[in-house]
Structure 1
Amino acid sequence: MLLLLHYLGTAMRRQFQSINILNNEKGFLFPYTVFIATLLLLATITTISLLEGNQKMTVYQLEQVELETLRQLSSTALEKEWINDNLELPFSSRNYQFPNGNATIFYRSHDEKNLHLSIKTITAKHAEKVWLVTIPLPLEIPNLDDSP
């Protein structure tokens, strides 16, 4: 019994010594504080840099959507011009201006089934892309008035 009390007393003293080490005035706690502060600073800087990268990526994705929109608008405008004005092949180029940018369509070639074009789109923020597009021929809109 006496041995058990001695062992428990020794264990309790060791436990209190480890607590006292954290509270002594020799500066044992300072390295831990600096380490934790450094980790928090590193996490904050990493989060800020990730946020900046995501913001840049969002801007680039929005520009890509604008370029794709311009390509679709210019293709539709050419198809309408083909149907309404009977555009003759080959044509040199067609320029289209839209509120969010400009598009220029260049004729490349055609065969019996397809029209091969090059579309250069430029957004208002001066992002630019050249698309190689194939449009099936003949470009006709089906007549919806003849439905049964």
Structure 2
Amino acid sequence: MKRLFPLLKKEEGFLFPYMIGITAITLLALLSSLTVYQNHLQSTAFLEEHLRIESLLQLSKKTFRTEYVKKKIGMENGTLHYSFPDGTVDIQYSTLPTGEIQVIFQVETDQEANYYSKQRLNFPSK
């Protein structure tokens, strides 16, 4: 009876080096794909945290503007603390002689990320 697969039955080891090569290439491709996936997960987490910080900054700026225009807070200088679901914002403000307001925002998210921003704002007095 003839052998059906003579390459698989040879004892010289013709097929083994090819199998090792194919296995190594497959494992290399798998590991590199996993590394790329981990990097994407990490960058996504950083982007989500950046979005939280930006939304906290916008919320606090809007709340500060509303309170400042309605004259619920002092007009010269002061410190405010706002708590939001995603974190807290501390604001230090002072009115400049030009009529602008210098505002320092210190944002801290619930994930312990911190952000510091110094801005000059110009709100209408009404």
Same-fold status (TM-score > 0.5)? yes
- Aligned letter for 2:102? H
Indicate how the Cα distance of structure 1 residues 139 and 100 shifts in structure 2: closer, same or farther if over 3 A, else same: farther
CA RMSD, Structure 1 to Structure 2 (Å) = 2.1
| TM-score normalised by L of structure 1 | 0.72
Give the aligned length: 121
Equivalent position of 1:60 in the other structure: 46
Deviation (angstroms), 1:139: 5.0
Could you say which residue in structure 2 is the equivalent of 1:101? 87
Shift of the alpha carbon at 1:109?
A: 5.2
Residue 107 of structure 1: how far off its partner (Å): 1.9
Structure 1 outlier segments of 4+, above 6 Å = 20-23
> Does structure 1 residue 130 correspond to structure 2 residue 103?
no
The 3-state SS of whatever aligns with 1:87 is coil
1:24, distance to aligned residue in structure 2 (A): 3.7
Q: State which drifts further: 98-107 or 109-118.
A: 109-118
Q: How much has 1:73 moved relative to structure 2?
A: 0.5
* Structure-to-structure mapping, 1:1-148, within 5 angstroms: 24-85=10-71, 87-107=73-93, 110-138=96-124, 140=126
Question: C-alpha separation between the residues in 1 aligned to 2:45 and 2:125?
Answer: 35
SS at match of 1:85: coil
- Which structure's residues are more often helix, by fraction? 1
Q: Indicate the structure (1 or 2) with the bigger Cα radius of gyration.
A: 1
Contact 1:121 1:130 in 2 (8 A): yes
Q: Which has the higher contact order (CA 8 A, sep 6+)?
A: 2
TM normalised by structure 2 equals 0.84
| Aligned partner of residue 18 in structure 2, secondary structure | helix
Which residue identity lines up with residue 41 of structure 1 in the other structure? L
Q: Identity of aligned pairs, percent?
A: 24
Say which SS state the counterpart of residue 48 (structure 1) adopts: helix
Assess, with a 3 A threshold, how the Cα gap between structure 1 residues 23 and 60 changes in structure 2: closer, same or farther.
Answer: same
